[in-house]
Structure 1
Amino acid sequence: MKLVVISGRSGSGKSTALQALEDIGFYCIDNLPAHLLPQLITRPPEKSSSDAPKTLLAVSIDARNPLSNLEEFPAILKKLREKQNISCELLYLDSNEEVLLKRYSATRRKHPLSNEQRSLKDAIEYERELLGPLAELADLRLDTTRLSLYQLRDSIKLRIMQKQEQGLSIQFESFGFKHGLPLDLDFTYDVRCLPNPYWLPPLREYTGLQQPVIDFLSQETEVNEMLADITGYLEKWLPVFEKNNRSYVTIGIGCTGGHHRSVFIAEQLASHFRRTMDNVHVRHRELP
């Protein structure tokens, strides 16, 4: 059985994530009381509408659970991960607080933790504290701040379903520091010290995916030295993460605007690691 537990703050896209998994064959349950999870695993749904055995299960466990259930969840998850016949992963979704406020204001929905004494902003902050222990246990964290519904669905399908049962899934993510640091990074490399094509008018309108910028950066000694250093570090330490049963690693490459240097470096790293690894992906946050 493959079990995916989805958690995260309200408004971060958990319902969309469940729908994406349902579309690819998972039996999905929203807002499951955490203490019922072991019973569900013991007696899973037996048949789908097509009479095929159900081996894919996804459940949402979040702040709608009673506090006592959330406190029990780390121990429950530990026991599930120790079972030989279950592949269990915890996916945690989050967005920055400004975006969560906008999403709730746009939909006019009531936050599950807000009340007469607790404002929407306070409820969002309290939920972050409440779910902090679950976020720390997550195998994969996704920052949905700048993702559309379609991008979130694609990201879920790409990283959950294309990952092999054994082996590490790596995503290189380029971004611009001026647009904020992504929330879901395991490693962050700052490449703002490298020569910037933005300051060369003939190159400004291109991106790190296009040949003029690729040619320019490929010829710069500092760029090649930075690539070699990052590659060497990751080649040494990624196998250690894999030996310790780490399923996913997200590596951020940041420059000022997220269009040139970070894009080029992310693409070069992905190309290098695809030679020896099966599950290597790239996302350029600031590109259309």
Structure 2
Amino acid sequence: MNNKRKFLAYLLVGIMVFSVVFIFTGCKQASQKEAAQEAKITMNGSTTVFPIAQKAAEVYMNKHPNVKISVEGTGSGNGIAALIDGTTDIANASREIKPEEIEKAKAKGVNPYETKIALDAIAIIVNPANPITNLTKQQVIDIFTGKITNWKDLGWKDTPIVVVSRDTSSGTYGTFMELVMPHGAQITDKATFQSSSQALKNTVATTEGAIGYVGLGYLDSQVKAVAYEGIMPSKETVVNHTYKLSRFLYMYTNGEPKGEVKNFIDFVLSPEGQDIVESVGFIRIK
């Protein structure tokens, strides 16, 4: 009887040990499978593209719980530099990649691949207290180079003009310089330079004599867009090519996008993704 009890006890212990090992092995395999299925995407770059990227990432992650997407808005130049250095999967940019950036990328074995995701326009903005409604190209040049320094010279009151610009790593800065400023011209050294579109907008919104420039997605009642050469920035004037400060917005990858990165960019270009583009104030391309 004692031998039988011992046998049953050994059998019970054996079953318990086997069960623990089986459960542990099963959990480990499930954990490994889950880890294998999880994908991470990093995006870095343009603060203009940031609202599109952030909203699209939120919606995409809700649809795909195993995908984790991080988004940073550090400026187009910084995003492209991160792509070249291999520290980001997607570089968001509000300008085309420069030839010298392509050369630097190829020297490091990186092949920048361009995907257009939206249309945008650069809007010249002033404080809502400013009654000015239109500026010519020459007036904008004279303001930003420091030739005109007081609003009284443009028909308003005796108020100093506070020039607010994006910093030089910004794609919006690069596009503004390309489309507005004469070759070789420099923005006045008295300007205030901001590292993001939101910071620039906030400065203009809280400074009576300020003037700056942002993408369409940053326009709201806090600031006032003025006509440029008699044309207001809008979806209609960008699409019909009457507003001259329009541009594409981009996502750059190392070679043609693959795997989950491709799936995400395809989502941005899908009808739902393009609805997101419009919902944050930009213009769909599809």
TM-score by length of 2: 0.27
TM-score by length of 1: 0.27
**Rg comparison, structure with higher value:** 2
Pick 1 or 2: higher relative contact order, CA cutoff 8 A, min separation 6.
2
